């Protein structure tokens, strides 16, 4: 049990309070190292079992969490729990840190302990559901796991749906907290954000910080939502709602700015967050008293005699409370009835139930249920192995990124990355062994071969650090242009270092990429056709029993064309071909054919022409393409509409983890048509001598 405040001198408590205030100021200004120093000084003043240490240790854990040092955060929470075993704050923060490390079983145990106590809240219950889903393989936790606002990244699974596939009406509270996906772009890099509708601006900023930890102060600009459909700078919860209602999917542009120019959350949103913190502090005070009572109960339990035990008919040993034994004896004496007869009734009832189930299991209808169960379990097994393999892919990329940051990628780093990719391939192949038509597994194999192609070509792009990002933002502000030149410069520098022999050797991997994407496209088309057939059958059944007007409306609906797997595979293949064309261009190879194929895949995947033009403008050989002047719509769209189709690096990585199936699903493939307002990818007039293909200038 911790010491009370009376056991600590008032002078020490005053010094601790001053240090806590100092640490809080450091924390608000994001100087987490300074906050840690202040908390350490405060802890040094308190005895080892002082109750005040619990809050200080939890605050240290929060600092480590913000610094993404999750193991240290877990250690600080564990230290707090040795003093206060029922501390809700320590349990919740340790659960979040364990979740970020993928330790879902341990995280689930902590969050369940919170939900069994008086401290249970909507946030803690949502966190338990999220961790349970991650443990079951239905969604990858950690996408915004710093709050309970993270949306599912796996395939969407509405809680209830009509027979025609349309979502059933949901209560207003559920509609307000529906998941929202947004594509946030900063410079040449695009990443997916997941949050809940009705999120505050402060919560959106937290998700932006998780997705772009190196960003610094930014302005969040929505592509639409302002007056007349103009871009909207988000400053409040109402602006988020307006942007979500104006454009789907939501596109956000992060514009680097100074700390003074970055919009601050409204006072009412800040007050709401502060009120939550105050409520948590009040609950902590109640938990300290509960810990003392729990310690006293445990002491009494240790002094009790060992309980009696009984054996069930199956031979299992169960503990019997003393009062039950006494009651059974009294019941037998006074009623003259057999107190064990209920066991016989139970056994007879179970035997009758088993006999009743046997005909149902042998019926024709049971075969379809068994097949459906088998399919679901195969899917779950495949997703688990897929996520396991994705861990190895992430490790390989981390090894190469660190080596590139150091300035030289040596043979040791390359060998370590190749070994991780080999381990990833084994997991992906194991998943495909259970489910040969597993769409996510086929896309993951294609992405893996694309990574091997870049590794073999020795394309190592050093990630931009915080200092480089800040310098890039300063230069962009001085020139009046959008930030992001640093990432493009790093890519060009890496391309300048590749050699033709290495790129030629990587071509074999690109052949494997094409084969895997062909399999993924075929599997996606089969799955899409099956889904459409089921929807058509359900719609026909509804139409037979519906009013004529309702039946006509259902027939005109036509289903959702934004969730087709085949078009998603085409977009991912276009991303891989786009990157391959830049590699070929860097060594003087024939790059135009690869770029033409990439554009064809983008169009087959129903990418907008504005996005395709943005990708072409971001190409390293954009100056050699005759794209013509920007259309009026592009000129008005500004930076939020450019380079969205060239986000292949981020989206291909998401596809390898199974998240792409929900976040980047495209419309159904249609016959390739001539792009409206988009010139062919021909060379400029001065480049006519570069050659022809199919009678057209290249």
Quick: pLDDT tens for 489-506.
Answer: 888 888 888 899 999 999
Q: What would the pLDDT profile of 88-108 be if each residue is shown by its tens digit?
A: 999 999 999 998 988 888 999
Q: What would the pLDDT profile of 522-560 be if each residue is shown by its tens digit?
A: 988 898 888 888 888 877 876 676 555 555 555 555 545
Between these two residues, 328 and 591, which has the higher pLDDT value? 591
Supply the pLDDT for residue 326. Answer: 67
Going 267 to 269 to 270 to 274, the CA torsion angle's sign is positive
Q: In the predicted model, what is the mean pLDDT of residues 60-71?
A: 93
378 pLDDT exceeds 60?
yes
The single-letter DSSP state of residue 82 is: H
Tally: H helices and E strands in the chain: 26, 9
CATH placement of domain 5-136: 1.25.40.10
Q: In the predicted model, what is the mean pLDDT of residues 233-249?
A: 84
444 pLDDT exceeds 70?
yes
Supply the pLDDT for residue 445. Answer: 93
State residue 161 phi and psi, 5-degree precision.
-145, 155
Supply the pLDDT for residue 173. Answer: 41
Supply the pLDDT for residue 698. Answer: 35
Q: How far is CA 96 from CA 66, 142, 210, 390, 576, in A?
A: 11, 9, 14, 21, 35
Supply the pLDDT for residue 674. Answer: 35
Least confident of 149-158, 279-288, 289-298, 434-443: 149-158
Supply the pLDDT for residue 98. Answer: 92
User: E-strand spans in 558-619?
Assistant: none
Q: How far is CA 291 from CA 59, 74, 300, 473, in A?
A: 20, 21, 14, 51
- CA atoms of 61 and 75, how far apart (whole Å): 8
At 337, is the pLDDT very low, low, confident or very high (cuts 50, 70, 90)?
low
Nearest to 606 by CA among 671, 697, 516: 671
At 660, is the pLDDT very low, low, confident or very high (cuts 50, 70, 90)?
very low
Q: Say what percent of the chain tops pLDDT 90.
A: 21
At 581, is the pLDDT very low, low, confident or very high (cuts 50, 70, 90)?
very high
CB proximity list for 643: less than 8 A, separation 6 or greater: 185, 188, 190, 611, 614, 615, 617, 618
Q: What would the pLDDT profile of 477-492 be if each residue is shown by its tens digit?
A: 545 444 556 677 888 8
Supply the pLDDT for residue 342. Answer: 52
Q: How many CB atoms lie within 10 A of CB 262?
A: 15
Q: What would the pLDDT profile of 16-39 be if each residue is shown by its tens digit?
A: 999 999 999 999 889 999 999 999
- CA atoms of 279 and 286, how far apart (whole Å): 11
455 pLDDT exceeds 60?
yes
- CA atoms of 141 and 163, how far apart (whole Å): 30
Instruction: Record the tokens describing residue 423, joined without a space.
Output: 């381990």
- The CB-side HSE value for 245 (13 A sphere, CA atoms) comes to 11
Q: In the predicted model, what is the mean pLDDT of residues 615-621?
A: 88
- CA atoms of 264 and 205, how far apart (whole Å): 10
CB proximity list for 292: less than 8 A, separation 6 or greater: 1
Instruction: Indicate the Cα dihedral angle 468, 473, 479, 481, nearest 10°.
Output: 120
Between these two residues, 547 and 356, which has the higher pLDDT value? 356
- CA atoms of 374 and 358, how far apart (whole Å): 19
77 pLDDT exceeds 70?
yes
Cβ atoms 558, 698 nearer than 8 A: no
Strands 179-186 and 250-256: parallel
CB proximity list for 583: less than 8 A, separation 6 or greater: 454, 457, 459, 495, 498, 503, 506, 589
Supply the pLDDT for residue 332. Answer: 62
672 pLDDT exceeds 50?
no
Supply the pLDDT for residue 485. Answer: 62
- CA atoms of 26 and 19, how far apart (whole Å): 11
458 pLDDT exceeds 60?
yes
Mean pLDDT of the chain: 74
Planar angle of CA 316, 321, 326, nearest 5 degrees: 115
Cis-peptide into 249, omega within 30 deg: yes
Q: In the predicted model, what is the mean pLDDT of residues 203-227?
A: 84
Instruction: Record the tokens describing residue 349, joined without a space.
Output: 């009832």
Supply the pLDDT for residue 307. Answer: 57
Residues in the chain: 698
Q: What would the pLDDT profile of 261-278 be if each residue is shown by its tens digit?
A: 889 888 887 777 777 778
Q: In the predicted model, what is the mean pLDDT of residues 181-189?
A: 85
Cβ atoms 26, 38 nearer than 8 A: yes
At 643, is the pLDDT very low, low, confident or very high (cuts 50, 70, 90)?
very low
- Which SS3 state, helix, strand or coil, does residue 218 take? strand
219 pLDDT exceeds 80?
yes
Q: Which of 370-379, 585-594, 673-682 has the highest mean pLDDT?
A: 585-594
The single-letter DSSP state of residue 121 is: -
- pTM here? 0.42
CB proximity list for 640: less than 8 A, separation 6 or greater: 185, 221, 222, 223, 231, 251, 252, 253
CB proximity list for 366: less than 8 A, separation 6 or greater: 360
At 472, is the pLDDT very low, low, confident or very high (cuts 50, 70, 90)?
low
Q: What would the pLDDT profile of 105-151 be if each residue is shown by its tens digit?
A: 899 999 999 999 888 888 899 999 898 888 776 444 444 433 433 33
CB proximity list for 93: less than 8 A, separation 6 or greater: 58, 61, 62, 65, 73, 77
Supply the pLDDT for residue 629. Answer: 73
- CA atoms of 466 and 480, how far apart (whole Å): 21
Supply the pLDDT for residue 470. Answer: 54
Instruction: Record the tokens describing residue 297, joined without a space.
Output: 């109960």
Supply the pLDDT for residue 204. Answer: 87
Between these two residues, 581 and 308, which has the higher pLDDT value? 581
Supply the pLDDT for residue 19. Answer: 92
369 pLDDT exceeds 50?
yes
């Amino acid at each position: 049990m911790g010491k009370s405040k009376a056991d600590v001198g008032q002078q020490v408590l005053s010094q601790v309070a001053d240090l806590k205030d100092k640490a809080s100021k450091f924390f608000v200004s994001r100087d987490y190292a300074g906050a840690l120093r202040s908390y350490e000084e405060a802890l040094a003043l308190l005895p080892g079992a002082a109750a005040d240490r619990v809050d200080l240790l939890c605050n240290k854990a929060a600092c480590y969490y913000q610094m993404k040092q999750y193991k240290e955060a877990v250690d600080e929470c564990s230290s707090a729990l040795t003093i206060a075993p029922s501390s809700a704050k320590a349990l919740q923060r340790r659960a979040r840190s364990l979740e970020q490390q993928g330790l879902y079983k341990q995280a689930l145990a902590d969050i369940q302990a919170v939900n069994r106590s008086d401290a249970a809240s909507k946030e803690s219950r949502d966190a338990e559901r999220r961790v349970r889903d991650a443990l079951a393989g239905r969604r990858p936790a950690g996408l915004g796991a710093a709050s309970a606002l993270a949306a599912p990244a796996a395939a969407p699974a509405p809680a209830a749906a009509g027979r025609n596939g349309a979502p059933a009406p949901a209560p207003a509270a559920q509609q307000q907290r529906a998941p929202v996906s947004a594509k946030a772009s900063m410079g040449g890099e695009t990443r997916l954000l997941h949050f809940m509708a009705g999120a505050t601006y402060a919560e959106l900023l937290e998700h932006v910080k998780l997705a772009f930890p190196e960003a610094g102060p930014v302005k969040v600009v929505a592509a639409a939502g302002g007056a007349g459909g103009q871009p909207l700078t988000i400053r409040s919860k109402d602006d988020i709602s307006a942007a979500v209602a104006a454009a789907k999917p939501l596109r956000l542009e992060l514009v680097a700015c100074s700390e003074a120019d970055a919009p601050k959350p409204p006072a009412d949103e800040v007050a709401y967050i502060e009120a939550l913190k105050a409520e948590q502090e009040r609950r902590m005070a109640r938990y300290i008293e509960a810990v003392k009572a729990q310690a006293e109960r445990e002491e009494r339990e240790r002094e009790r005699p060992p309980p009696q035990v009984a054996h069930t008919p199956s031979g299992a040993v169960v503990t019997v409370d003393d009062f039950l034994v006494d009651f059974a004896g009294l019941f037998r004496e006074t009623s003259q009835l057999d107190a064990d007869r209920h066991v016989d009734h139970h056994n007879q009832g179970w035997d009758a139930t088993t006999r009743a189930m046997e005909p149902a299991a042998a019926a024709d209808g049971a075969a379809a249920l068994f097949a459906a169960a088998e399919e679901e379990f195969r899917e779950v097994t495949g997703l688990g192995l897929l996520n396991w393999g994705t861990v190895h892919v992430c490790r390989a990329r981390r090894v190469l990124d660190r080596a590139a940051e150091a300035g030289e990628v040596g043979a040791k780093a390359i060998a370590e990355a190749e070994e991780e990719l080999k381990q990833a391939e084994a997991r992906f192949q194991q998943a495909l062994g259970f489910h040969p038509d597993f769409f996510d597994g086929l896309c993951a194999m294609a992405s893996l071969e694309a990574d091997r192609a870049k590794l073999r070509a020795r394309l190592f792009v050093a990630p931009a650090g915080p200092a480089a990002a800040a310098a890039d933002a300063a230069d962009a502000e001085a020139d009046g242009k959008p930030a992001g030149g640093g990432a493009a410069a790093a890519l060009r520098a890496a391309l300048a270092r590749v050699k033709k022999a290495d790129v030629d050797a990587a071509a074999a991997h690109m052949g494997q990429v094409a084969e895997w994407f062909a399999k993924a496209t075929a599997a996606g088309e089969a799955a899409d056709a099956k889904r459409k057939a089921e929807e058509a059958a359900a719609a026909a059944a509804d139409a037979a029993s519906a009013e004529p007007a309702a039946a006509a409306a259902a027939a005109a609906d036509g289903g959702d064309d934004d969730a087709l797997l085949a078009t998603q595979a085409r977009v991912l293949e276009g991303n891989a071909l786009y990157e391959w064309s830049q590699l070929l261009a860097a060594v003087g190879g024939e790059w135009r054919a690869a770029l033409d194929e990439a554009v064809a895949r983008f169009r087959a995947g129903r990418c907008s022409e504005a996005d395709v033009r943005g990708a072409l403008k971001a190409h390293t050989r954009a100056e050699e393409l005759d794209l013509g002047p920007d259309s009026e719509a592009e000129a008005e769209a500004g930076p939020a509409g450019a380079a969205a189709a060239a986000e292949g690096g981020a989206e291909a990585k998401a596809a390898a983890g199974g998240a792409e199936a929900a976040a980047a699903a495209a419309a159904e493939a249609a016959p390739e048509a001539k792009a409206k307002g988009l010139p062919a990818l021909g060379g400029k007039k001065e480049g006519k001598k570069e050659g022809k293909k199919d009678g057209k200038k290249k």
